[in-house]
Amino acid sequence: MSNRVAIVTGGSRGIGAAIAEALAKDGYDIAISYSSSSGAAEKVAEKIRGLGRKALTIKANGASVEGNREVIAETIIAFGRIDALVCNAGTYPYGPIDEMTVAQIENILNLNVRAVMVETMEAVKHMKDGGRIIYIGSAFGARAPFPGISLYAATKAALRGFAKGVARDLGSRGITANVIEPGPIHTDMNPEDGEGAALISSFVATGAYGTVDDIASMAAFLASPKASYITGAALPVDGGLEA
């Protein structure tokens, strides 16, 4: 798959960084977007270049339509093509619904849902037949096991429906669209020994957090030719949280 190009939004850390590196190992040149930490984004880019692939970092406001379009446009300017789109960027508000504000609702819809729709709409204009679209959802989109995650769960559930529709729209072109639904994953932002981790682990069949490599491995598979007959699916990588 040499000379293929993948975009990974929110690729400067955590799950996004792991996916970017996994795709680079499989022969993709990588464009990653980030919101604030240019240093972290450049570290990921250097790892990708160390694997012999090209890397581009793009600072973008994921809450704006213009920012989402900019990610696609800059990738085309730099690489001339898009073969895979991984929509990973998002936000996680926490709190009971009676304490949420309209501003919080608008913010999470913009980042977790509208951004994905705009990026998809713009990317497929340049994506060749046989392309891959991967959305990073959440096991909480299928199950809300504790209070305080109503807005987040709603946005991640929305990705399921969107992927099914996109799969139908683009199936004749051999472009697949799928959702990966992570359970609790150990990252700097969500450590397996952090506050609330014991409670969250109790809802997982394995009783443990997963790793970023668990998600990256699934993304690499879905981005490969081996996954050409999988589309419109929501695939849990969650240690059994949805079970």
Find residue 236's DSSP bridge partners: 181
Could you tell me the maximum CA-CA distance found in the chain, to the nearest angstrom? 51
> Which residues belong to the active site?
152
Tell me how far apart the alpha carbons of residues 40 and 34 are, in angstroms, rounded to a whole number: 9
Reported as a single tens digit per residue, the pLDDT across 158-173 is: 999 999 999 999 999 9
pTM: 0.97
Residue 94: CB atoms within 10 Å: 12
Reported as a single tens digit per residue, the pLDDT across 33-91 is: 999 889 999 999 999 999 999 999 999 999 999 999 999 999 999 999 999 999 999 99
Q: Which two tokens stand for residue 73?
A: 């446009």
Confidence category of residue 2, pLDDT binned at 50, 70, 90: low
Mean pLDDT of 221-232: 98
Domains belonging to the chain, first-starting first, are 4-237 (3.40.50.720)
What residue has token string 């713009």? 122
Instruction: Give me the sign of the Cα torsion angle 40, 45, 34, 9.
Output: negative
